[in-house]
A and B are shown apart, each in its own frame.
Chain A
Amino acid sequence: MRRQVILFALLTLLLGATFWVTSLGKVGIYSTFTYGDLLHSAWAHFKMVFIAVFIAAAMGVPLGILVTRPGFSPFALPVIGGASIGQTIPSLAVIAVMAPLLGFGLQSAVVALVIYGLLPILRNAYTSIRTIDPAIIEAAQGMGLTRMQIARKIELPLARPVIMAGIKVSTVITVGTAELAVLVGGEGLGKITLTGVFAQEPLIILQGAAPTAAMAITLGLILELAERRMTPRGLRLEPENTLGVVRHESNT
């Protein structure tokens, strides 16, 4: 609860700062970006993040679960290791390498963001299944459930919140990394931030950075809510109220 209050206060502050700079119209000799520019860039930013995280999740979740299956377990190490390598390369380098390979434009930015956002999703999907208490599975087998039933009724519901947490982390990271997409011809809030950098005007940097941070916080909060809702009722630490808003912190 307290954490959410702090995040909402921060969110208000960031959006307030954005509106303040935008309303100035002019800082030093430079004109600030208009609300139209801001909306256009924010929407482009969101779209890019959405596409990238969607692809990363579509690849990462099935792959992460697949390598926990008995037949595929030898692939677990190379797959998780490969994704880890993707994340150790600096984001700027990943993005910069994409431009000569795939050309200038959205596609380069998205591929780079997918490479960068894949690891948290993949790793969480893998861990979510691997960390289920074997006693639970044994009990299910003892009750006569088939393997398919165990996967559908026991493993997936238990894994869901952890998988969602991975997607949340990946989303928050991607919102930040997507700032760099503008360097390879993508669009987004990075355009405003980098304009500020090259004009050497801190307030213009703020005009791009503050809404980016606000977007990361907002998406983080929304996905956190989704994560809670996906937690099986029996595992939730505290009941929800009728509005679906979580009253107390769980320890996830």
Chain B
Amino acid sequence: MKVTLERILRTLLWVLTIALIPGPVQAGAMEKRVTVGNKNFTEQYIMGELIKQLLENRGFRVDLRSDLTSMALRGGMESGDIDLCADYTGTAWMVHLKREYKPGTDNNQLYHLVKEKEKGNQFIWLHPTWNNNTYAMASWREFATKHQVATLTDLAGLYTKGEGEIETFVNFEFSIRPDGLSALEKFYGFKVAKTTLKAGTPGASLIALREHKTDIAMVFGTDASIAKHGWHVYADDKSFFPPYDLTPYVRKDVLNKYPEIANIINGLIATFPGGGKPATPVIVAECQGIWRQLNATVDIERMEPKEVAEKYLIEHGLIKR
């Protein structure tokens, strides 16, 4: 038989046709596929992996889109490129729903407000973890002891008395957020002198505090460094900062197609303190502690979020080794 170019091409075409057709037709119809998204910081990497591995264990084929900016993740959820993710109640209320936060609204109230309003956007919010990864101000314990300050009210007094001698380090974004520095100053009645105020990239404030380059640093509630260094976090005694509780939410059309997702994910949430039940200050503190530890396994012990998630799911009996 003579091997001609035409023969080779024809064979190739057949091979391609056969290879391409059955794939989508056979597998696609049966397979349960979802796309999970997560943002670009430690806690989100862990949560993304938790959801992914759990759903995979329950027979889903999961496509994980990791490392997204907050806006990209929300954009993906809105366009349908992403089916479910976990976001914060405070972020949803102020950034996505563009509502004003009334100081004093507690974790439970804010969750229910968000859940209610998000129904209109065809998003179903599942049970929250009460980890309150909100903004907070922290310092070394020695500083708090030396100046005898414990709450933000105390700290405001110190700022007023100190007259621009307290070095302060915040995130770039924090200086212009509606729940950021200027609103905080107004609410507690103090002013950070411009000359002592520094702003940096995410995480820079933690490094500055660790290296004693600043007295006060903006931190997040579940930052691993807080536990590691035993930093003092100033109590928000007048409830200025909105709650930021990490909560999974799903597109409604996806949930209609795969209603079992709600139970599977709520089962994961149930492993956290107060999971599925209303929040109390004790529950919030416990849950924050759990997440600080989880974040520490990645940020300090340098484990992969994937391993951390797997270990967590096994320990809580959600998947088997």
Contacts A29-B98, A200-B69, A200-B70 known; A195 to B175 CB distance under 8 Å?
Answer: yes
* Cross-chain contact B199 with A30 (CB below 8 angstroms): no
Query: For the complex, is B62 an interface residue (Cβ under 8 Å from A)?
Result: no
Query: For the complex, is A198 an interface residue (Cβ under 8 Å from B)?
Result: yes
- How many B residues touch A, CB cutoff 8 Å? 23
Contacts A29-B95, A29-B98, A31-B182 known; A185 to B198 CB distance under 8 Å?
Answer: yes
- CB contact list, A183-217 vs B, under 8 A: 183, 185, 191, 194-195, 197-200, 204
* Cross-chain contact B175 with A194 (CB below 8 angstroms): no
Question: Interface digits, A57-70 against B, CB 8 Å rule (1 contact, 0 not)?
Answer: 00000000000000
* Cross-chain contact A33 with B199 (CB below 8 angstroms): no
Contacts A194-B201, A195-B199 known; A29 to B175 CB distance under 8 Å?
Answer: no
The contact of A182 among B69, B199, B202, by CB within 8 Å, is: B199
* Cross-chain contact A29 with B178 (CB below 8 angstroms): yes
Tell me how far the C-beta of B159 lies from the nearest C-beta in chain A, rounded to whole angstroms: 18
- Find chain A residues with CB under 8 A from B211 CB: 104
- B-side interface mostly: mixed
Question: Interface digits, A92-119 against B, CB 8 Å rule (1 contact, 0 not)?
Answer: 0000000000011000000000000000
Distance, CA A124 to CA B200, complexed state (A): 36
Residue of B whose beta carbon sits closest to that of A204:
B176
* Cross-chain contact A195 with B173 (CB below 8 angstroms): yes
* Cross-chain contact B178 with A199 (CB below 8 angstroms): no
- Find chain A residues with CB under 8 A from B70 CB: 200
Contacts A32-B176, A200-B70 known; A40 to B94 CB distance under 8 Å?
Answer: no
Distance, CA A28 to CA B211, complexed state (A): 35
Query: For the complex, is B131 an interface residue (Cβ under 8 Å from A)?
Result: no
The contact of A198 among B95, B172, B198, by CB within 8 Å, is: B172
Q: List 26 A-B pairs, Cβ < 8 Å.
A: A29-B95, A29-B98, A30-B176, A30-B177, A31-B176, A31-B178, A40-B194, A104-B208, A182-B199, A182-B200, A185-B200, A185-B213, A191-B172, A194-B172, A195-B172, A195-B173, A195-B176, A195-B199, A198-B171, A198-B172, A198-B201, A198-B202, A199-B172, A199-B177, A200-B70, A200-B71
A residues near B, CB below 8 A?
28-33, 37, 40, 103-104, 182-183, 185, 191, 194-195, 197-200, 204
The 6 closest A-B pairs by CB, nearest first: A195-B172, A198-B172, A30-B176, A199-B173, A198-B173, A200-B71
